Structure 1
């Protein structure tokens, strides 16, 4: 739902007040062929309303569902500000566009295939072997399939590997408020108290004892309905994430 490019930008642009199509086009600097489908998608997803005030006056604003998404985006932006490394930018963006870019960059990390189930497994188990991660997070896949996913998470700085076992890094553990907010929003529940929910909030206390296979009513697909483009974080260099 959020991973297609420009979705977050559009949500933030119309967050303060409904805007006419021409105003959105001016701010987004997109062609009609690009903007029309994106706005239509927001409406279809229930995140925005399209209101016709006249033949040449069509306005777009957030629905209640779209407004409820804003605290989720704020949680993602807060994590990105702390845990994504700032790369040199010859034309630095400011305001809404900078914030949206940071959010989209963070989403690329956690929306990667199997990333969320693997992170969840490590959050519950504390430390786990690749075989354990594969059994919990990728049932039905060969053991060899989990290694590229784990290497990607290690390269992105969300997990650490030591002597054949894997665990969350500080950046990975810091995603707890992000996942709590996402899960609460996906379930249509208030964000207040989300971190304390046994299924929605990632555990704050880790254990090295074996834990049962993980099941949860919330899936990453509830929020990530499209696979993100492999345009960033294909392999973060040493020293942290790049953006």
Structure 2
């Protein structure tokens, strides 16, 4: 059995997690965090825990089914925690985990960039469409 150098082992590890490879788990994670509902929910939870109904009101346009599915997938990925409080009606709160909070700077920067540059993008689209 051939002995591999530390550099070879690092190179193997880099290939193991290469988002350009279709089967790579990091690509699946990029798909998840680039989903519009995930990015909006991460930002909506930035200020602390929120009830399901608060999230539904904050993130307009998301259906109950999609909100539920997205929160479940975020919980599965360790980005949010879910707390159920026995009451009538049952209270369900969602909160970012430490892992979810570590994504906030990136997601908030993307949201801010989109809000700042939307006029430029709309102008570019209009110019492009005029030349078609």
Q: What TM-score comes out, normalization by structure 2 length? A: 0.58
Is 1:21 matched up with 2:56?
Answer: no
CA displacement at 1:75 relative to structure 2:
3.6
After superposition, the Cα gap between the structure-2 partners of 1:35 and 1:78, relative to the gap in structure 1 and judged at 3 Å, is closer
Query: In the alignment, what sits opposite 1:73?
Result: 107
The count of corresponding residues between Structure 1 and Structure 2 is 93
- 1:152-199 Cα offsets, whole Å, 9 max, x none, are xxxx9xxxxxxxxxxxxxxxxxxxxxxxxxxxxxxxxxxxxxxxxxxx
Comparing both structures, which one devotes a greater share of its residues to helix? Answer: 2
Secondary structure at the aligned position of 2:128 is classed as coil
Secondary structure at the aligned position of 2:84 is classed as strand
Counterparts of 2:111 and 2:48, CA distance in 1: 21
Query: In the alignment, what sits opposite 1:7?
Result: 38
Secondary structure at the aligned position of 1:58 is classed as strand
Is 1:49 matched up with 2:81?
Answer: yes
Counterparts of 2:65 and 2:112, CA distance in 1: 32
Query: In the alignment, what sits opposite 2:120?
Result: 85
If asked which structure has higher relative contact order (CA below 8 Å, sep 6+), I would say 1
Is 1:35 matched up with 2:70?
Answer: no
Secondary structure at the aligned position of 2:35 is classed as coil
Listed as ranges, the gaps of 5+ residues in structure 1 are: 89-155, 157-232, 239-243
Listed as ranges, the gaps of 5+ residues in structure 2 are: 1-31
